[in-house]
Amino acid sequence: MTLSRRTFLAAASAALVVPRIALAQPGAGRVVIIGGGFGGASAARFARDHFPALDVTLIERSRTFTTCPYGNLVLAGRRTIESITFGYDRLAARGVRVLNQSVTAVDPAAKRVRLADGTEVPYDRLVMSPGIDLRWGAIEGYDEAASARMPHGWSPSLQPITLLRRQLEEMPDGGTFVMAIPDNPFRCPPGPYERISMVAEYLKRAKPRSKLIALDAKNGFSKQPLFQDAWEELYPGIVEWRGASSDGRVMRVHPATMEVETEFGEKLKGDVVNVIPPQMAARIARDAGLVNQSGWCPVKPATFESAQVDGIWVLGDATIAAPMPKSGFAASSHAKHAIACIAASLAGRAPPPATLFNTCYSHVGPDYGISIVGVYRPGPTSLVEVEGSGGISPRNATMTPERRQQHRQLEALYADGWYASITNEMFG
Amino acid sequence: MMLRVLLPCLLLAAAPALAQALDPVLLAGACQGCHGVAGQGSHGIPQIKDAQSRAEFVALMQAFRANQREATVMGRITRGYTDEQITVLATHFARAQ
């Protein structure tokens, strides 16, 4: 039996989510946000706080969100997974309609989003902050099954960091922790190096005869001089980092024997093997036609509207926003700007001037934090860094020993402050 | 220093016109990431809401920008913002005078 078009349309319209507010007031409109991470949750909160004429719906498949930031502290045993996991109740109490559903399709022509239960959600402006998918198979042998033995610990929605934590705890003293780190671009550029630091701290404390070997598919990384100074100072003899030119690129993995194999065929065996695989924009962004051949979503740098599909604003790690990094803070900055642009477009005004902003803190030891800052404005084809601004924390050699200790201590404290502030903004 | 002389004039003469071009709420959104959604601060990060007058706020940002005041991240941040933007932020965050 085939459903007639008329019957289908009647059924579809019966399932429409009806907006709560009248659309008569100036600048009013239905804003639907897909994805409840740093981009989506920040967008929802910012819209509710500053643009009361907007009717805001947040669609997120999970009832809770575990942050990637501070996951490395869970790995080191300094935080619990519960302390980095949040719910959407407060956003709902602020007037955001939260739908805990999977999105099955986006129809930009009809301006509707279809959910797994068949509901269709109409929108005037769509925001997508879909996050990332891992490229299974990009490293030969590294598929979802392999990740149970060789955890990635990189996307909490796929695998909790606690799996890697358990393996680290079970590792014998004198064991080897092997890490594979991908080439750019990937989520959280300093993340693997904060992870090296946090694992090394745990090993030094609990399993001092152990080693960490990090195999990297590139030759340089975020905050590199600061991390390498700290490893030498805090974890001598524990951390070995190998870049691409020192045969650091992992080409295939052998989960049965817990080995990774490099470009030149060297096999390294780990007691724990952490593989952070190459990544791409999440499926829903690919299905909606937002990605280009790179697997990521190009956006108009002045507004964060998709460069490929009109009426959809794209935020966060899924976007091509370089030189902005794929970070939670960056996603929240994209979110606020995109919401302001959307509000302006609904009110018939020009978009506001864009200043995008990011600060990423990393913990490298107890009371030892470092940071990178960036301030960005839109250029003709991409964002550009504001000249003379931003950069990384000063290196050890540039400071007196007293100032150095104070600086690292303050940045560790401020990292905690940033985390408390931004998670409170999204979920508090 | 020329800038010091100019800034109070900027504050008085140009702030209302600038506030239309620049969105203070949007600019302040960057500060909130660390200083809190209400500018209340956290874990040693200073509060910025109601903490100072507009002139004090501008002077502090200028000092950060010129490396005349010890900072962790604020020097690197303020060097990315123009006088206009700092003036708009000062008006947004400063306590009523």
- Residues A189 and A97 placed together within one structural domain of the fold: no
- Residues A231 and A264 placed together within one structural domain of the fold: yes
Residues of B with CB under 8 A from a CB of A: 21-23, 25-27, 29-30, 32-37, 41-45, 70, 72-73, 76-77, 79-81, 85
- Residues A216 and A303 placed together within one structural domain of the fold: no
Cis peptide before A185 (omega within 30 of 0): yes
- Residues A126 and A159 placed together within one structural domain of the fold: no
pLDDT of residue B52: 82
Please say if the pLDDT value at position B17 is more than 80.
no
Q: A244: domain range?
A: 134-279
For residue A399, what is the domain's CATH number? Answer: 3.50.50.60
- Residues A156 and A92 placed together within one structural domain of the fold: no
Tens digits of per-residue pLDDT, B61-97?
999 999 999 999 999 999 999 999 999 999 999 875 4
Out of A249, A264, A279, pick the residue that ends a domain: A279
Out of A229, A256, A279, pick the residue that ends a domain: A279
CB of A329 within 8 Å of a chain B CB? The answer is yes
State how far residue A191 is from chain B, nearest Cα, in angstroms: 19
Tokens encoding A6 = 């008329």
State how far residue B88 is from chain A, nearest Cα, in angstroms: 13
Q: Would you place residue B49 in the very low, low, confident or very high pLDDT band (cuts 50, 70, 90)? A: confident
- Residues A208 and A170 placed together within one structural domain of the fold: yes
State how far residue A73 is from chain B, nearest Cα, in angstroms: 17
Is residue A305 within 8 A of residue A341, CB to CB? The reply is: yes
Pick from A112, A125, A120, A123: which is nearest to A13 by CA?
A120
- Residues A288 and A235 placed together within one structural domain of the fold: no
The residues with which B39 forms a beta bridge, in sequence order, are none
Pick from A25, A42, A5, A130: which is nearest to A422 by CA?
A42
pLDDT along chain A (428 residues), means of 10: 42 49 73 98 97 97 97 96 98 98 97 97 98 98 97 93 97 98 98 98 97 98 97 97 98 98 97 98 97 98 97 98 98 98 95 96 97 96 96 95 97 98 97
- Residues A255 and A227 placed together within one structural domain of the fold: yes
- Residues A322 and A250 placed together within one structural domain of the fold: no
Out of A246, A279, A312, pick the residue that ends a domain: A279
Give the integer Cα–Cα distance in Å for A142 and A151.
10
- Residues A291 and A204 placed together within one structural domain of the fold: no
Looking at chain B, which residue has its C-alpha nearest residue A38? B33
- The one-character DSSP state at A345 is H
Q: Give chain A's domain count.
A: 2
- Residues A12 and A118 placed together within one structural domain of the fold: yes
- The count of other CB atoms within 10 Å of the CB of residue A159 is 17
Work out how many CB contacts closer than 8 A connect A with B.
111
State how far residue B8 is from chain A, nearest Cα, in angstroms: 24
Q: A290 in helix, strand or coil?
A: coil
- Residues A106 and A142 placed together within one structural domain of the fold: no
Residues of B in contact with A425 (CB under 8 A): 32-33, 36-37
Best interface-test mutation with A: which of B18, B27, B45 has the largest number of A CBs within 10 A? B45
Residues of B in contact with A411 (CB under 8 A): 72-73
